[in-house]
Amino acid sequence: MRLAGYWLLLALLSAMVLSGCANKNRPAPVEDRSPNAARAPAKMVASADNAGKPGYYSVKSGDTLIRIGMDNGQSWRDIARWNNIENPNLIETGQVLRVTPPEETGVVVRPVSSTNVVTSPAPANTASAPAPASNTASVRPPASAANPSNASTPTNNLANTDSAEDTVSFQWPTRGNVLAGFDEVKNKGIDIAGKAGDPVLAAADGKVVYAGSGLRGYGNLVILKHNNTYLTAYAHNQSLLVKEDQAIKRGQKIAEMGNSDADQVKLHFEIRRQGKPVDPAKYLPAN
């Protein structure tokens, strides 16, 4: 019996030694980083290799998705979706974002809708345009601004460089004297005087791509996308009457004038062509 117990103990010890050696020689789990290794889908659509290419944008310090969308003529929600961004507040300096739809390679994007865009010959060539209103100008928009159905197309005879489906007939968004004219550096739109609560009207048919107060310097802001070329922005409102993704008709009341993030009651109005601010005075009806 003692001999049988001895051999049993010896067998157990041998098994333990062999098991330890096997574990010692087994390689630790590692991630396969070879080019042919199967990988989980990348969280971000764009990569650093796309930096500087048309349709892509490299995030700078202080950027927000709202600002990036406005500067590229897009909805911030679309940019978040194209880049699989779950938290729009978490973007990093240097991060490369796609700012055009994934199926398109150029910088021009699709219209918001083929049914809600007012198309007519519209100005775009600034070379033959009259000089923009100075910051001290006092210009009253036409009476038709209060009656959208009577608003006319611009009459300043600027050459049309937009395609037929991209042109838009804009109307004045409110009545009042122009407090400050367009300046590419100091004022990216025009400021229109008024009283708190005065109606702010959509300058053309479109879709709400932003309604909120998340863009510093603009207060309560509405941004409308009219087609694949034009956005309009309406800032410093005291109240907003529309929601994101809402379809809007030309002349529809979208906000009430106020002084949010401003030194006085006024409407700051911008027209952006493919994200770039342009002088609204060259696109609005003559007064």
- Per-residue pLDDT of the chain (287 residues), as tens digits, is 555 555 666 666 565 545 554 444 443 333 333 334 333 333 445 667 888 888 899 999 988 999 999 898 898 889 999 999 988 888 899 999 998 888 754 444 344 443 333 333 333 333 333 333 434 334 444 444 444 444 444 444 443 567 776 889 999 999 999 999 999 889 999 999 999 999 999 999 999 999 999 999 999 999 999 998 999 999 999 999 999 999 999 999 999 999 999 999 999 999 999 999 999 999 999 86
What CATH number should be reported for the domain whose range is 48-98? 3.10.350.10
The one-letter code for the residue type at 42 is A
Pick the CATH number of 126-282 from 3.40.50.12370, 3.20.20.140, 2.70.70.10, 3.40.50.20: 2.70.70.10
At a CB cut-off of 8 Å and minimum separation 6, what does 7 contact?
A: none
**48-98 and 126-282: same fold?**
no
Q: Which of 243, 162, 159, 251 is nearest to 201 (CA)?
A: 251
Determine the pLDDT at residue 25: 43
Determine the pLDDT at residue 130: 39
pTM, two decimal places: 0.65
Q: How far apart are CA 118 and CA 250, in angstroms?
A: 8
Domain boundaries, given as residue ranges, for the chain: 48-98, 126-282
Determine the pLDDT at residue 134: 38
Determine the pLDDT at residue 11: 63
Determine the pLDDT at residue 88: 85
At a CB cut-off of 8 Å and minimum separation 6, what does 267 contact?
A: 173, 174, 176, 191, 192, 194, 198, 200, 234, 235, 236, 237, 257
